[in-house]
Amino acid sequence: MNEHRYLLDANVLTRLTADQRASAFVSARCRVTAEVMNEVRGLPDRSVIARIELSTDARTLGRLREVMASVVPGDQSLVDLYRNKGCADPVIVAAALAAEDGQDQLWQTQWHIVSDDKAVRAMASTFGISWISRRDLVALIEEGDLARSPSVGDRHDFAAGP
């Protein structure tokens, strides 16, 4: 059985309760990028979230180059530097790609992006990374079953919607 892990976007993390963020499921299965940590710096339980931080390494930066190269010039839906929006979004996709790089084991870890941002979901789908919504994640947290594969674990088709 493949293991499922989840990279959380700031738009999801900030809408989880403190209890949900401190849950065993989030602690065991979820990670946040350093860039997301920066975006959620105002959360009172930031020290709890820091335990699941995924550092940005050279492999992630290499994948970030690929992600940014796929953005159409002038498209500000994923990143809008003029309005300081979405700075962590391409890094989340790059981190998921980097985490799955070189996996040649029989039982692999499948990474999912958890985001309610349509541009992040679209970019994830472009690179073949599955995504789930905050609502899907909350259902997994409430079940608390660390062994269960998500019912939405198969690749989401962005065109089909959430």
Sequence spans of domains, the chain: 3-148
Instruction: Give the pLDDT confidence score for residue 11 in this predicted structure.
Output: 94
**Distance between CA atoms of 87 and 149, rounded to whole angstroms?**
30
Q: Class of the 3-148 domain?
A: alpha beta
Is the pLDDT confidence value at 104 over 70?
Answer: no
The answer to whether the pTM exceeds 0.75 is yes
**Segment 4-19, tens digit of pLDDT:** 999 999 999 999 999 9
Instruction: Count Cβ atoms within 10 A of the Cβ of residue 123 and give its class: 0-12 exposed, 13-18 middle, 19 or more buried.
Output: buried
Residue 84 pLDDT class (50, 70, 90 cuts): low
Instruction: Give the pLDDT confidence score for residue 52 in this predicted structure.
Output: 96
